[in-house]
Amino acid sequence: MVEIRKPILVSRAVELVMQNAKLLATETVTLDAAYGRILAEPIIAKHDVPPFNRSPYDGFAVRAEDTVGASGENRTPFKVVEEIGAGHVATKQIEQGEAYRIMTGAELPAQADAVVMLEQTVEGEGTFTLRKPFVEGENISFQGEDAKEGEALIHKGALIHPGTIALLATFGYANVEVAKQPVVGLLSTGTELLNVDEALVPGKIRNSNGPMIIAQLERMGIGHQSYGMLVDDLDACTKTVERAIAETDMLITTGGVSVGDYDYLPAIYERLGAKVLFNKVAMRPGSVTTVAVLGDKLLFGLSGNPSACFTGFELFTRPAILRMMGAENPYMPYMKATLGEDFTKPNPFTRFVRAVWEMGEAGPVAAPAGFNKSSAVSSIARGNCIIVLPSGTRGFTKGMEVNILLLGAEQGVSKWAL
Ligand code: AMP
Ligand code: MG
């Protein structure tokens, strides 16, 4: 008899996965290895930024009081006593009517209190004139205006992106404390599967899920440990799954989670004593997506159907991996878009449609990326987003507003509204 499974809402399934994502330890990496990692310590300003008052322009550093009365008819002359390039400091003092030639980024000498841009002067031989007065503090980048020493600037749990790298470098973080990355085991099941370099033979197909998931992991900067492809044999699969769980922090399997005669993952979970968090989700594609926990390890049983497999990874596995690393924004970003085509078939389950979004005249427009069954592989290749069509009895028509999940974004958001 076919087992009856009770579907749970996608939001509940995500919640269950996230609750069971165990926080990994931290490690220290050098700054040049920190890009893409998750910060395990906050970034606190170790000094003021900028660390000294400096010139934001190429020009002349003057005493504002000496510019009083300058006008077009009465240009005020200055004598240049010293030139200060970026990285140098002044060695001379200035008196009334004297100035420093100063370059962008150079420290403002103590006696000067305003900077005149080159364009605001008429230059002579070691001299220049001005046609307007300057006020104290004009054209100065003040010490600490960007960040004050001791200020908490970036949270622990933030993704280290190029901007974060710049901040870390500013404060001299040659080493950074980051979350360890999980060792992710990957195993594809199915007697029908061939390797990429094998010729098609009757009844067989090439394994596309394995390489796809490796790339989905790589897009997150995460490596994998491969357990290859397994034929549908309960004993052999159980052994490999058991070994994989022992050697990794989490395991992704593809295929074998349905209710067919050779879908052995449910039996394997049972044999190993894993607790099944859910084995049916109210979503299309991927309703058979199954997630189990053994000890503190998550076991992702993704559907063998390529579109379902892809979607299952993005909806459940990806945020779980990020949560394991303590990421504060583990969810892929989403935005509103106008539906570019009718999608009239009502669906009792939330539908995730591989789609292409483009900028339309009135804002983003998203249209399905072609053949859209759960078995589809061509639409995954074309898609740059996933349209979310909430469950219900009505269909959706062109022009309606929908949420789209943005694939491949570097930075995520802290919550989803699925
Ligand atoms: P399953 O989830 O094992 O019932 O598989 C569902 C469908 O996905 C079947 O048509 C399988 O042949 C296909 N499939 C399973 N695994 C893969 C894979 N790794 N790559 C491509 N297609 C697959
Ligand atoms: Mg199978």
Per residue in 161-176, pLDDT tens? 999 999 999 999 999 9
Atom 17, ligand 1: which residue's CA is nearest?
304
Q: How far apart are CA 307 and CA 377, in angstroms?
A: 6
Atom 6, ligand 1: which residue's CA is nearest?
304
Q: Which ligand is nearest to the CA of 377?
A: 1
CA of 227 to the centre of ligand 1 (A): 17
CA dihedral 195, 197, 198, 203 (to 10 degrees): 50
CA of 304 to the centre of ligand 1 (A): 3
Q: Which ligand is nearest to the CA of 303?
A: 1
* Site residues for ligand 1, CB cut-off 6 Å: 188, 190, 192-193, 205, 207-210, 254-258, 260, 263, 303-306, 375
Residue 46 pairs with which residues in a beta bridge? none
Q: Is residue 394 scored above 90 in pLDDT?
A: no
Query: What are the structure tokens assigned to 158, written together?
Result: 């933030």
Mean pLDDT of 388-394: 91
Q: What is the pLDDT of residue 1?
A: 56
Question: Three-state SS for 114?
Answer: strand
Question: Three-state SS for 320?
Answer: helix
List pLDDT tens digits, range 60-116: 999 999 999 999 999 999 999 999 999 999 999 999 999 999 999 999 999 999 999
Lateral strand order in the sheet of 275-278: 225-230, 184-189, 250-254, 297-302, 290-294, 275-278
Q: Which ligand is nearest to the CA of 209?
A: 1
Query: What is the DSSP secondary-structure string of 337-375?
Result: EEE-S-B---BSSEEEEEEEEEEETTEEEEEE-S--STT
pTM to 2 decimals?
A: 0.95
Q: Which residues fall inside 5 Å of ion ligand 2, going by CB?
A: 190, 255-256, 304
